[in-house]
């Protein structure tokens, strides 16, 4: 019943083109809070698909990180945990472990976590390596940087620095062909159930400015991943929608909340909304 209600709410949320409060059975628990520290962009430029005047907190799951919204060189999440030779934020780690168990429960094995958190210096090294490949082929430094940026973000512009992005593979396969593997197809269909999205989907390069990367997953949390999947939109497009209407629904364990954006802050309700499933209503 809850899944049905969730799907109906998601469809209703986008179909009417205005904010919706999602109601569901609310269990007693701690008040829901979100961190409000904002990491400012070092540029006033924003992509056309992200009209929000300010970025989210770097500790928030919906933070947009790209060339227009870079992270400071010294930014490092304070809840990183070690996992399979790399680091990632604890909520993303827990969700990945659950997702991997579900995949293996359906008889699909061999998914490898290739990369997760990368510090600024590590990303700079990767980017410079890619530039050298193109300069060795005769490109100028400027040309090489532009070519490199199509597949590798410059330092500070990689969401790997957030600790929420994962590169996964089967036998080290990091190419569009990963989408045709059994694991790739399963992730495309199911990763949203665990709060992940394929961050750079096919046909969206004009928005993300990154080539199709079926192996690159981003943890955004539930229900955001579900909403993005059902409506075939990227993080840039989803944030644009939120910036237009300033509120959206989010849930904790079994509780639903209405979250409101105000300027450069995220303001949340102090307690769950609703005591029983009801028809969504607009505000």
Report how far residue 141's alpha carbon sits from residue 282's, in angstroms, rounded to the nearest whole number: 52
Read off φ and ψ for residue 144, nearest 5 degrees. Answer: -65, -40
Number of domains observed in the structure of the chain: 1
Burial class (CB in 10 A: 0-12, 13-18, 19+), 109: exposed
Q: Which of the two residues, 254 and 176, has the higher pLDDT score?
A: 176
Per-residue pLDDT of 74-110, as tens digits, reads 999 999 999 999 999 999 999 999 999 999 999 999 9
225 in a structural domain: no
Range of the domain at 40: 1-72+232-283
- Out of 159, 213, 236, 255, the active site residue is 213
5 in a structural domain: yes
Q: Which residue has the tokens 């799907």?
A: 7
Cβ atoms of 230 and 6 within 8 Å: the answer is no
213 catalytically annotated:
yes
6 in a structural domain: yes
Identify the band that residue 23 occupies on the pLDDT scale cut at 50, 70 and 90.
very low
Per-residue pLDDT of 162-178, as tens digits, reads 999 999 999 888 899 99
Q: Which of the two residues, 226 and 156, has the higher pLDDT score?
A: 156
41 in a structural domain: yes
List 21's β-bridge partners, or say none. Answer: 281
Per-residue H/E/C for the chain? CHHHHHHHHHHHHHHCCCCEECCCCCCCCCCCCCCCCCCCCCCCCCCCCCCCCCCCCCCCCCCCCECCECCCCCCCCCCEEEECCEEEEHHHHHHHHHHHHHHHHCCCCCEEEEECCCCHHHHHHHHHHHHHHHHHCCCCHHHHHHHHCCCCCCCCCCHHHHCCEEEEEECCCCCHHHHHCHHHHHHHHHHHHHCEEEEECCCCHHHHCCCCEEEEEEECCCCHHHHHHHCCCCHHHHHHHHHHHCEEEEECCCCEEEEEEECCEEEECCCCCCCCCCCCEEC
268 in a structural domain: yes
Q: Tell me what the mean pLDDT of segment 199-209 comes to.
A: 94
66 in a structural domain: yes
Read off φ and ψ for residue 166, nearest 5 degrees. Answer: -130, 140
248 in a structural domain: yes
């Amino acid at each position: 019943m809850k899944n049905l209600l969730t799907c109906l709410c998601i469809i209703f949320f986008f179909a009417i083109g205005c904010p919706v409060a999602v109601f569901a059975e609310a269990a007693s628990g701690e008040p829901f809070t979100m961190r409000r520290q904002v990491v400012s962009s070092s540029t006033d430029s924003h992509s056309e698909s992200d009209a929000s005047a300010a970025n989210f907190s770097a500790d928030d799951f919906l933070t947009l990180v790209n060339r227009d919204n870079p992270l400071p060189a010294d930014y490092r999440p304070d809840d990183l945990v070690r996992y399979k030779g790399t680091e990632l934020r604890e909520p993303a780690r827990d969700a990945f472990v659950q997702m991997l168990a579900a995949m293996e429960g359906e008889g699909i094995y061999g998914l490898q976590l290739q990369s997760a958190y990368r510090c600024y210096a590590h990303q700079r090294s990767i980017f410079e390596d890619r530039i050298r490949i193109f300069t060795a082929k005769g490109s100028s430094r400027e040309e090489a940087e532009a070519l490199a940026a199509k597949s590798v973000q410059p330092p500070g512009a990689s969401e790997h620095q957030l600790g929420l992005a994962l590169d996964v593979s089967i036998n080290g396969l990091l190419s569009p062909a990963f989408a045709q593997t059994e694991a790739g197809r399963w992730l495309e269909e199911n990763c949203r159930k665990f709060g992940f999205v394929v961050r750079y989907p096919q046909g969206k390069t004009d928005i993300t400015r990154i080539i199709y990367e079926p192996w690159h997953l981003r943890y955004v949390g539930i229900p955001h991943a579900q909403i993005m999947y059902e409506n075939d939109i990227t993080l840039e497009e989803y944030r644009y929608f939120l910036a237009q209407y300033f509120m959206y629904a989010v849930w904790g364990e079994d509780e639903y909340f209405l979250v409101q954006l105000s300027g450069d802050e995220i303001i949340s309700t102090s307690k769950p909304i609703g005591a029983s499933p009801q028809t969504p209503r607009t505000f």
